[in-house]
Amino acid sequence: MISRRDFLQVSMAASAMVGASGFGNWARLAAQQSLTQDQLLEFDTFGNISLIHVTDIHGQLKPIYFREPSVNLGVGENKGHVPHITGADFRKVYGIADGSPSAYALTYNDFSALAKAYGRVGGLDRVSTIINAIRADRPDALLLDGGDTWHGSYTCHHTQGQDMVNVMNALKPDAMTFHWEFTLGSGRVNEIVEGLPFAALGQNIFDSEWDEPAELFKPYKFFERGGANVAVIGQAFPYMPIANPRWMFPEYSFGIRDENMQMMVDEVRAAGADLVVVLSHNGFDVDKKMAGKVQGIDVILSGHTHDALPEPVLVGKTHIIASGSNGKFVSRVDLDVRDGQLMGLRHKLIPVFSDVIAPDPAVAQLIEAERAPYKTQLEEVIGQTDTLLYRRGNFNGTWDDLICDALLSEREADIAMSPGVRWGPSLVPGDDITREEIWNVTSMSYGEAYRSEMTGEFIKVILEDVADNIFNPDPYYQQGGDMVRIGGMGYRIDITKPQGERISEMTLLKTGEAIDPAKSYVVAGWASVNEGTEGPMIWDVVEDHIRKLGTVTLDPNNSVQVAGA
């Protein structure tokens, strides 16, 4: 068996020349057999500026398992292009050997077996070690947080994000942008932001009443690094009031606002910016389109869709960097900026293999202090799993299958719905399911599990609406995330069809009968964006269900038939 410390380096040192391919470098790295922490962190320092990018941590303080998706379909111009390739196709593009640690970190195949070989990933104490190593090499490196940080765990929920604020402050970021943070409620967000020792950025965060830039969130900030002026422009999640409850942050509006982005780029260039970096929570495809429309952006640090890519993607003269999620990766980007322009860059996607990267003792101690008041609740074992539990996938994940089963059973429903969010770690067969693990995939500030009646026609409207948010060929109409998960019902989806025509063959699984548009069905779900939703909290529903099961064993879910992929 391969030792956990014998793994291939998941990195890329791109040519200093803009637009050059890094595939050859990646393939050569695949010939290595073992690495120490020093080898993993090794970097051929380049240029005069370094950026460090983390994003979509979702409250994960400790090492976790995280399986990448088996299905991540692209539509329109993005069909068949990264990040919309997975598994063997992804490994072929980047020259990654089957069964290697690179394959474990970046693809889904043989995940359970490889997880046992290579161990957990992430942990902010390990992330801190990587950041410290980069700063030792380049002391003035900029640490930029792409958002979705103060959300997604038991402790984050119970401290209203304070655990993550405290730990991230210890890492000393220079700037961040936002998405799920706003589901803490605007009052709490304002309170935290007012006390942050770094920049809170969002050129697209506006006052909803006056349609003017919100005073609390600055559009950009200048940093002098390596003899050059660096402008970092923030781009918060554009679709906040649609994807999340508008009533939680009524004084703010968002949107892509690419015309305003162009104004900000022009403004910072006129003010002397030599390098323009956009710290984005748009999602990768939206960032690609924006890069093609807005002139003058050198680098986009992309977040929201949780993609991890070992090489930058070049759109025109803009380099797009994707750094994964849940603390699994850290990106380092070194740039050569001279005479007011970007001359070249070197990039490395660093996997945070928790058994190889030593924890930063000070941050490890801080993490334990944040968790200590909740230790008993976090560690209580609710059940076990014989099934690999994961979330990522366009149409279903086994965690969501389990959540839907819990809703069907505990809420006595015909059909269950669970949101197609991408956050939440994985569990491998044989693992205990603790209360912490349940909260890692359910924690949010509007977790009530509703039970209501819906007609077949209305259920189809919901599916069509969500499908268009994902498979509209225009990225500006995509909100990221995945299809709403459905329990108790099967359907067919043709992702090439226009809105209103994608969903067909809806079937009630317990009877095999076609869904009747005029008939009412009992539907249980959670995460409704409507104010005043009532019902037990979803984590309690899932916990009760798992306690009754004892051991979770799930059959393969083949209830969704996909056409046009």
Question: Are both 292 and 394 inside the same structural domain?
Answer: no
Structure-block tokens of residue 159: 């401290």
6 occurs within a structural domain? no
Q: What is the DSSP string of 263-301?
A: HHHHHHHHTT-SEEEEEE-S-HHHHHHHHHHSTT--EEE
Phi, psi of 67 (to 5 degrees): -85, 130
524 occurs within a structural domain? yes
Count the domains in the chain: 2
Question: Are both 166 and 253 inside the same structural domain?
Answer: yes
Question: Are both 184 and 75 inside the same structural domain?
Answer: yes
Question: Are both 538 and 475 inside the same structural domain?
Answer: yes
- Residue 442 sits in a domain whose CATH number is 3.90.780.10
Question: Are both 410 and 516 inside the same structural domain?
Answer: yes
How confident is the model at residue 153, as a pLDDT? Answer: 99
Q: Of 418, 411, 420, which Cα lies nearest the Cα of 522?
A: 411
Q: Of 339, 368, 397, which marks where a domain is finished?
A: 368
Q: Packing angle between helix 284-293 and helix 258-270, nearest 10 degrees?
A: 60
Question: Are both 362 and 322 inside the same structural domain?
Answer: yes
How confident is the model at residue 16, as a pLDDT? Answer: 34
The one-digit pLDDT tens for each residue of the chain (565 residues) are 333 333 333 333 333 333 333 333 333 333 334 668 988 899 999 999 999 999 999 999 999 999 999 999 999 999 999 999 999 999 999 999 999 988 999 999 999 999 999 999 999 999 999 999 999 999 999 999 999 999 999 999 999 999 999 999 999 999 999 999 999 999 999 999 999 999 999 999 999 999 999 999 999 999 999 999 999 999 999 999 999 999 999 999 999 999 999 999 999 999 999 999 999 999 999 999 999 999 999 999 999 999 999 999 999 999 999 999 999 999 999 999 999 999 999 999 999 999 999 999 999 999 999 999 999 999 999 999 999 999 999 999 999 999 999 999 999 999 999 999 999 999 999 999 999 999 999 999 999 999 999 999 999 999 999 999 999 999 999 988 899 999 999 999 999 999 999 999 999 999 999 999 999 999 999 999 999 999 999 999 999 999 999 999 999 999 999 999 8
pTM of the shown model: 0.94
How confident is the model at residue 565, as a pLDDT? Answer: 85
Q: Of 348, 368, 388, which marks where a domain is finished?
A: 368
What distances in angstroms separate CA 167 from CA 140, 171, 281, 334, 385, one per listed residue? 20, 7, 21, 25, 31
How confident is the model at residue 274, as a pLDDT? Answer: 99
Look up the domain containing 160 and give its range: 23-368
How confident is the model at residue 101, as a pLDDT? Answer: 87
Q: Of 347, 368, 389, which marks where a domain is finished?
A: 368
Question: Are both 103 and 228 inside the same structural domain?
Answer: yes
How confident is the model at residue 35, as a pLDDT? Answer: 63
> Rounded to an integer, what distance in angstroms lies between the CA atom of residue 236 and that of residue 279?
8
